[in-house]
A and B are shown apart, each in its own frame.
Chain A
Amino acid sequence: DVKVTQSSRYLVKRTGEKVFLECVQDMDHENMFWYRQDPGLGLRLIYFSYDVKMKEKGDIPEGYSVSREKKERFSLILESASTNQTSMYLCASSYVRGRQPQHFGDGTRLSIL
């Protein structure tokens, strides 16, 4: 079974802090993704990566950055957390070839106070 592990299930941070969310997958997937999910807005793609050190902006990259130094690990960084970044953050991974589905981690519920 595919295992996508997010470092924290719940996280509380303060406005202005630099926040790191970590994601690790064990299936040697080339692609990794970060989404946020908000009521009524669904899943929105923040950033994705299709290879080590490669990244592309998704639909809502403002206020976020990412890092992928190793194939299995993809980090999401909130440079200066703001209250409007309070959300559920979901990491996913997939193979790059073919019509492959994405597999999700358990999610991190982040609250910015």
Chain B
Amino acid sequence: QKEVEQNSGPLSVPEGAIASLNCTYSDRGSQSFFWYRQYSGKSPELIMFIYSNGDKEDGRFTAQLNKASQYVSLLIRDSQPSDSATYLCAVKRLTGGGNKLTFGTGTQLKVEL
């Protein structure tokens, strides 16, 4: 089992719809969760992070965390073509130091006109 799993997609949604991106993780002791967006040929950029169970909203983005189910998701409301990218889920491990993250392989999102 991979430490962080994401559906590779592509996930296609029409413009203006809600895109839902999901991520599961295996380390039950994981405490910090991050979503990065990566455009083709570019480096990852941080969108959101969440530490506590429940929802966290930032503009059109909402991160949801359910530690009991070991599940974290990212909702993008009113999806725009500019949201088309690969979304990486990252989890901070408990073991080891230095703020290491484990990344999923990413979900490709396509927002269609």
Instruction: Please report A residues at the B interface, Cβ cutoff 8 Å.
Output: 31, 33, 40-43, 45, 48-50, 56, 58, 90, 94-96, 99-107
Given contacts A48-B98, A100-B99, A101-B49, contact A90 B43 (CB under 8 A): yes
Please indicate which of the listed interface residues B8, B31, B97 has the most CB atoms of chain A within 10 Å of its own CB: B97
Given contacts A104-B45, A107-B42, contact A99 B97 (CB under 8 A): no
In Å, the complex CA distance between A106 and B30 comes to: 28
A44 to B: closest C-beta gap in Å: 8
Q: Which of B31, B44, B99, B104 contacts A94 (CB 8 A)?
A: B99
> Does the CB pair A104–B34 fall under 8 Å?
no
With both beta carbons as reference points, the residue of chain A lying nearest to B34 in the complex is identified as A101
- The interface size of chain B toward A, counting residues with CB under 8 Å, comes to 24
A1 to B: closest C-beta gap in Å: 11
In Å, the complex CA distance between A50 and B104 comes to: 23
A–B complex contacts, Cβ < 8 Å, 12 sampled? A31-B98, A33-B100, A42-B104, A43-B103, A50-B97, A56-B96, A56-B98, A96-B97, A96-B99, A99-B92, A102-B99, A104-B43
Residues of chain A within 8 A (CB-CB) of B96 are 56
> Does the CB pair B43–A107 fall under 8 Å?
yes
In Å, the complex CA distance between A101 and B104 comes to: 15
> Does the CB pair B99–A106 fall under 8 Å?
no
In Å, the complex CA distance between A67 and B44 comes to: 24
